[in-house]
């Protein structure tokens, strides 16, 4: 009987709980709860209130779910887009960015056309992801940016002017030639250039009265024409420019990967090592120095202290002494005795041919041979060190440390025994940690070692400064001029990496894996959000012959100017094909295009000219958009 009662009570409780949870989920409130359950109901109500119910089944329910849960849409577009982007047909592939854009637009258009579901994801998500991408890219190319300005600044400006002028002529006169209504030309310029801000200046010309619509046409109708032209040309231009930029070098018979290596060598000034703070800077790489362990048997070593041996044999410093299975503390300057096993580091040739005869037979003692090697950058902060040669510094008790590279003012300096070290130089050293710390102390600096951490504080501050610089606006004759937040953040990354190349302590550690992830994920997430919001506008613009003209003129305005500008870059300005491609995609304001050529060339050197032409054409495109509205 008791068991039956308990079952009944449990059943009633379950039914009541399910009913209560359902009402909370549907209504998003806990107002029906009272007494002791009020507090608990409020918390659960907040949780279930965030879950939008799906009322339909099948595909309708699936599209409805993606509309209610924007994060699910973004992740699905990223996953499917990356898969499609990896597919290759005769060596040609979309890449992850174009794949994500294509999948996102297909999903959003299908939802709108089939079930009248309009996706609208807050733009703050896409904007933030784009800024992360730009900052991470700036960190990558910063040390090469100023070298790029010196080497090809005029050519980058010329490419920017060609792309902007041809785009304006094609879109404005193309719309006029086929008799498109007012507003379409400005929308075509905005969409084919993928600069949404042009719509803003065009709308500003309407609302300020600078442009008055013809009789029988309202301001709202002109604005709708701009939006329709923007949507159609934006989608086609975004996909087209990614593919064009990706394969421009191949179209003109260039090997993208090979040309990228040549460009990297040219813009590095002949340096063979990455500058401080750059990706791969703290990798050990090849070294002519090696470790060997020897058992002491020769009289020249027996009975002498470590410091005496370091003075007499500086070319083969002792890093470790093992005696009776124990590691001795070298800081106590112990005396070497027979049968000790000593670990020395020197040139491989000397170790093989000389040290065995000098010390004794080689040993395979694990304790002696297992001395971890590190690579570190040290910023010279001691004036007492300035002016000394590397040969002189090697005699100052920094045994076991080898100089891998030396940088001055962000540029690599050839290294030799008589190379002078100056204040504020950066030395890249290799050796055991204890020896590195000792050398850094004598140089007046700190060791910057490889790390898997990334400093969020400096990232946030640098991006904030870049963002604020980007939104600073100057209005001239009713036209707002601004650098743009994207350009502001990439220049912030450039500045941080530039100063790190001169002082590796600046800006905190930035792990290359984290930087690379921000670059790839940031751009693709931006594209996924963008595709959700643009897709429905494409549906609304479909109809009649107008869409065909919008598609034709938009694609022509997007692709013909960069094609011609690239040709001018490699033929007239004699630019490397990857550098010309980077300047071209910057002139076209296409961040996804930049990512495409980076993927194709397997190098980020294309980003060197990108900010120069990007900043120039951003301003020119806004001016041109305003006047396209006035003239129409």
Higher pLDDT, 366 or 273: 366
Render pLDDT for 29-60 as a digit per residue (tens, 0 to 9): 444 444 444 444 444 444 444 556 666 778 88
Q: What pLDDT, on a 0 to 100 scale, did the predictor assign at position 426? A: 81
- At 294 the three-state DSSP class reads strand
Q: What is the mean pLDDT of residues 15-19?
A: 46
Q: What pLDDT, on a 0 to 100 scale, did the predictor assign at position 540? A: 61
pLDDT for residue 367 is more than 90: no
User: Is the four-CA dihedral 190, 194, 199, 201 of positive or negative sign?
Assistant: negative
34 burial via Cβ count (<10 Å: 0-12, 13-18, 19+)? exposed
* Top-ranked range on mean pLDDT: pick from 102-111, 112-121, 232-241, 555-564: 555-564
How many other CB atoms sit within 10 Å of the CB of residue 323?
Answer: 15
Q: pLDDT tier at 247 (50, 70, 90 boundaries)?
A: very high
Higher pLDDT, 109 or 16: 109
Do the Cβ atoms of 378 and 429 come closer than 8 Å? Answer: yes
Q: What pLDDT, on a 0 to 100 scale, did the predictor assign at position 194? A: 80
Q: What pLDDT, on a 0 to 100 scale, did the predictor assign at position 39? A: 44
Q: Give the pair of three-digit tokens for residue 31.
A: 């107002």
CA separation for the pair 293, 366 (Å, rounded): 9
For tokens 């890219």, the residue is 137
Q: What pLDDT, on a 0 to 100 scale, did the predictor assign at position 33? A: 43
Q: What pLDDT, on a 0 to 100 scale, did the predictor assign at position 403? A: 79
Q: pLDDT tier at 75 (50, 70, 90 boundaries)?
A: very high
DSSP letter for each residue of 219-243: HHHHHHHHHHHHHHHHHHHHHHHHH
Domains and CATH numbers, the chain: 2-48 (no CATH), 88-270+463-631 (1.20.1530), 283-371 (3.30.70.1450)
Higher pLDDT, 580 or 351: 580
User: Among 64, 137, 93, which residue's Cα sits nearest to residue 526?
Assistant: 137
Q: Give the pair of three-digit tokens for residue 574.
A: 């004699």
Which DSSP letter does residue 607 get?
A: G
535 Cβ neighbours under 8 A, 6+ residues apart: 104, 105, 106, 107, 108, 109, 111, 112, 119, 235
CA separation for the pair 328, 338 (Å, rounded): 14
Q: What is the mean pLDDT of residues 345-371?
A: 63
Which DSSP letter does residue 330 get?
A: G
CA distances from 160 to 178, 232, 589, 628 (A): 27, 24, 10, 19
pLDDT for residue 374 is more than 90: no
pLDDT for residue 134 is more than 80: no
Q: What pLDDT, on a 0 to 100 scale, did the predictor assign at position 93? A: 63
User: Among 245, 130, 128, 248, which residue's Cα sits nearest to residue 588?
Assistant: 245
pLDDT for residue 97 is more than 80: no
Q: What pLDDT, on a 0 to 100 scale, did the predictor assign at position 164? A: 94
Do the Cβ atoms of 344 and 338 come closer than 8 Å? Answer: no
Helix axes of 546-571 and 219-251: crossing angle, nearest 10 degrees: 40
CA separation for the pair 8, 147 (Å, rounded): 81
The mean predicted confidence, pLDDT, of the chain is 76
Q: What pLDDT, on a 0 to 100 scale, did the predictor assign at position 30? A: 42
Q: β-strands 447-448, 374-379: how paired?
A: antiparallel
Q: At 282, give phi and psi (nearest 5°).
A: -105, 35
Higher pLDDT, 298 or 501: 298
pLDDT for residue 624 is more than 80: yes
Do the Cβ atoms of 484 and 38 come closer than 8 Å? Answer: no
Do the Cβ atoms of 123 and 533 come closer than 8 Å? Answer: yes
* Top-ranked range on mean pLDDT: pick from 143-152, 240-249, 429-438: 240-249
Do the Cβ atoms of 608 and 145 come closer than 8 Å? Answer: yes
pLDDT for residue 108 is more than 90: no
CA separation for the pair 305, 178 (Å, rounded): 92
Q: Give the pair of three-digit tokens for residue 195.
A: 């600069």
Q: What pLDDT, on a 0 to 100 scale, did the predictor assign at position 248? A: 94
Q: pLDDT tier at 190 (50, 70, 90 boundaries)?
A: confident
Q: What is the mean pLDDT of residues 350-372?
A: 64
Q: What is the mean pLDDT of residues 471-490?
A: 72
Beta strand segments in 24-84, E: none
Which DSSP letter does residue 360 get?
A: -
Q: What pLDDT, on a 0 to 100 scale, did the predictor assign at position 269? A: 53
Q: pLDDT tier at 396 (50, 70, 90 boundaries)?
A: low
Q: What pLDDT, on a 0 to 100 scale, did the predictor assign at position 40? A: 45
pLDDT for residue 556 is more than 90: yes
Q: What pLDDT, on a 0 to 100 scale, did the predictor assign at position 364? A: 66
Q: In the chain, pLDDT over 90 holds for what percent of residues?
A: 16
């Amino acid at each position: 009987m008791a068991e039956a009662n308990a079952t009944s009570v449990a059943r009633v409780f379950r039914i009541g709980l399910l009913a209560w949870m359902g009402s909370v989920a549907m209504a998003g409130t806990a107002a029906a709860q009272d007494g002791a359950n009020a507090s608990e109901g409020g918390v659960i109500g907040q949780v279930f209130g965030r879950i939008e119910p799906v009322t339909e089944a099948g595909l309708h329910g699936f599209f409805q779910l993606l509309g209610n849960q924007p994060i699910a849409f973004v992740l699905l577009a990223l996953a499917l887009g990356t898969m499609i982007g990896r597919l290759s047909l005769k060596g040609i592939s979309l890449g992850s960015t174009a794949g994500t854009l294509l999948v996102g637009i297909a999903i959003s258009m299908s939802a709108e056309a089939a079930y009248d579901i309009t996706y609208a994801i807050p733009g703050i998500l896409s904007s933030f992801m784009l800024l992360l991408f730009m900052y991470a890219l700036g960190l990558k190319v910063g040390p090469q940016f100023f070298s790029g300005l010196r080497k090809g600044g005029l050519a980058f400006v010329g490419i920017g002017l060609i792309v902007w002028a041809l785009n304006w002529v094609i879109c404005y006169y193309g719309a006029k030639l086929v008799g498109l209504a007012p507003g379409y030309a400005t929308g075509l310029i905005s969409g084919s250039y993928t600069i949404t801000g042009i719509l803003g200046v065009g709308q500003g010309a309407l609302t300020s009265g600078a442009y008055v619509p013809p009789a029988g046409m309202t301001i709202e109708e002109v604005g709708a024409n701009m939006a329709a032209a923007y949507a159609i040309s934006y989608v086609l231009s975004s996909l087209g420019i990614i593919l064009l930029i990706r394969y421009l070098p191949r179209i003109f018979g260039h090997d993208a990967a090979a040309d990228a290596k040549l460009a990297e060598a040219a813009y590095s000034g002949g340096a063979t090592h990455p500058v401080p703070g750059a990706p791969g800077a703290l990798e050990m790489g090849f070294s002519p120095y090696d470790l060997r362990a020897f058992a002491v048997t020769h009289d020249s070593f027996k009975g002498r202290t470590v410091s005496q041996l370091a003075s007499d044999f500086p070319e083969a410093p002792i890093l470790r002494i093992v005696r009776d299975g124990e590691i001795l503390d070298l800081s106590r300057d112990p005396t070497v005795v027979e049968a000790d096993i000593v670990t020395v580091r020197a040139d491989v040739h000397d170790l093989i041919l000389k040290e065995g005869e000098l010390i004794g037979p080689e040993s395979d003692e694990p304790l002696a041979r297992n001395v971890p090697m590190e690579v570190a950058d040290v910023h010279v902060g001691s004036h007492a060190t300035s002016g000394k040669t590397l040969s002189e510094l090697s005699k100052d008790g920094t045994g076991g440390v080898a100089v891998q590279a030396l940088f001055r003012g962000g540029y690599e300096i050839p290294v030799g025994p008589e190379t002078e070290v100056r204040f504020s130089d950066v030395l890249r050293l290799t050796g055991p940690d204890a020896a590195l710390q000792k050398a850094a102390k004598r140089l007046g600096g700190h060791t910057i070692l490889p790390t898997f951490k990334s400093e969020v504080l400096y990232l946030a501050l640098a991006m904030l400064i870049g963002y604020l610089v980007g939104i600073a606006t100057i209005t001239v004759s009713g036209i707002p001029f601004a650098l743009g937040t994207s350009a502001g953040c990439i220049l912030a990354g450039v500045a941080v990496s530039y100063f790190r190349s001169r002082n590796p302590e600046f800006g905190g550690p930035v792990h290359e894996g984290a930087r690379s992830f921000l670059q790839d994920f940031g751009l693709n997430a931006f594209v996924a959000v963008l595709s959700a919001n643009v897709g429905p506008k494409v549906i609304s613009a479909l109809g009649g012959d107008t869409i065909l003209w919008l598609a034709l003129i938009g694609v022509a305005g997007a692709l013909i100017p960069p094609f011609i500008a690239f040709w001018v870059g490699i033929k007239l300005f004699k630019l490397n094909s990857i550098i010309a491609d980077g300047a071209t995609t910057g002139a076209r304001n296409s961040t996804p295009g930049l990512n495409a050529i980076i993927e194709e060339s397997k190098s980020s050197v294309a980003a060197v000219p990108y900010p120069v032409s990007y900043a120039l054409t951003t301003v020119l495109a806004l001016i041109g958009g305003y006047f396209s509205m006035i003239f129409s």
